[in-house]
Amino acid sequence: MHDEPTAAGLATTPRAGGSGGVGDNARSWLVWGGTAVAFGVLIWWILTQMSLTAFFAQILNGLSFGAVLFFLASGFTLIFGLMRITNLAHGGFYLVGGYIGISVVRATGSFFLAMLVSALAIMVLGLFTERVLLRPIRGLEKPEVLLTIGLTFILGDMSLAIWGGDPTPIPKPDFLNGALDIGGFVYPRYRVFVIACAVVVGAILFWVEKRTRWGAMVRAGVDDRETVAALGINIKAVFTGAFMFGAFLAGFAGVIGGAFLTLLPGQDFEVLLFALAVVIIGGLGSLKGAALGVVIVGLIDSFGKALIPELSFFTLFAPMAIILVLRPRGLLGRE
């Protein structure tokens, strides 16, 4: 195959940014040491506030919420990394996906069918968004963002018109109901399932990104779109594919998250805020950044809600502010 060497060449393209080893060593040790000490003090303080069992339960709560965010943030970051499109409609995709899931579960009783149908339906919505709405203003970053926020209002209001405003949980399949008992530590089965799903999907995404031709094209596209296009790869098709895949994951997230976070009007913006916090903290455009971000944001949110419920949103604010001032592109973002 004539393009085999190209793909191999692309696959070995060194990735810029990340941990960039040129920094001052002593300073970097100081930063990491300081972070470790601050972290230790924080954990010690938390443990004075709650029992060890509660502590582990909160960690799992944080990770399961983070798992839902991972499906959202990984697609969001992929779309941004490739196309520089900030898809603020991602929260709307999540909400509509969840509501479609409810309708499917009500009609067929199958939770897994609902996951598939929702994800596919939102994928089609993504196709429409990218091809019809965003294509005419391709490359105009700010109009693109504003268009997607307008789309979110439409999606949210239409959901309200179709599915009503009552908070609705998606019924879970029977075998995921109830609690899991591990040596006296009791925890809801469904949340463990969500974490497992995110780990599996995350592993697949990392594998695809690192090891497959598709991943090589995406990575190359992130690094240098013009060259990729010049090499004869249909970059527009890659864009559309990535946008649809991101939408697919958002629809999937709507069903998997809607089953334990319940769906209600306005949640599109709430999950959007969390997804933004993830990419602002973790760094935009990198899968690793999204994975790190969801763990941090999930844990901050769950411990914040448990310890200072009045300020539950606000707990995201301080870490975001610190990171924005020190590292405007996020922890693992590229400069």
Piece in contact with other proteins (CB under 8 A), picked from 50-58, 112-120, 295-303, 309-317: 309-317
60 binds other proteins (CB under 8 A): no
DSSP-based three-state secondary structure for 50: coil
* Main-chain phi, psi angles of 263, to 5 degrees: -105, 135
DSSP, collapsed to helix, strand or coil, labels residue 290 as helix
Among 11, 46, 59, 84, binds other proteins (CB under 8 A): 84
Nearer residue to other proteins within complex by CB, 5 or 309: 309
104 three-state secondary structure = helix
Interaction of residue 310 with other proteins, rule CB under 8 A: yes
Question: Longest C-alpha distance within the chain, in Å?
Answer: 64
CA 92 from chain centre, in angstroms, equals: 14
Residue 75's closest CA among 214, 225, 202? Answer: 202
Tell me which of 42, 43, 203, 311 binds other proteins, using CB under 8 A: 311
Cα angle, residue 193 at apex, residues 190 and 196 outer, rounded to 5°: 155
If one asks whether residue 52 binds other proteins (CB under 8 A), the answer comes out as no
Residues 112-141 that bind other proteins (CB under 8 A): 133, 136-137, 139-141
Binding residues for other proteins restricted to 159-188, rule: CB under 8 A = 161
Would you count residue 149 as binding other proteins (CB under 8 A)?
yes
* Distance between CA atoms of residues 154 and 176, nearest Å: 34
Residues binding other proteins: what is the number (CB under 8 A)? 53
Place of tokens 């990535």: 242
Q: Which residues bind other proteins (CB under 8 A)?
A: 80, 84, 86, 88, 133, 136-137, 139-143, 145-147, 149-158, 161, 269-270, 272-273, 276-277, 279-280, 284-285, 309-314, 316-317, 320-321, 324-325, 328-329, 333-335
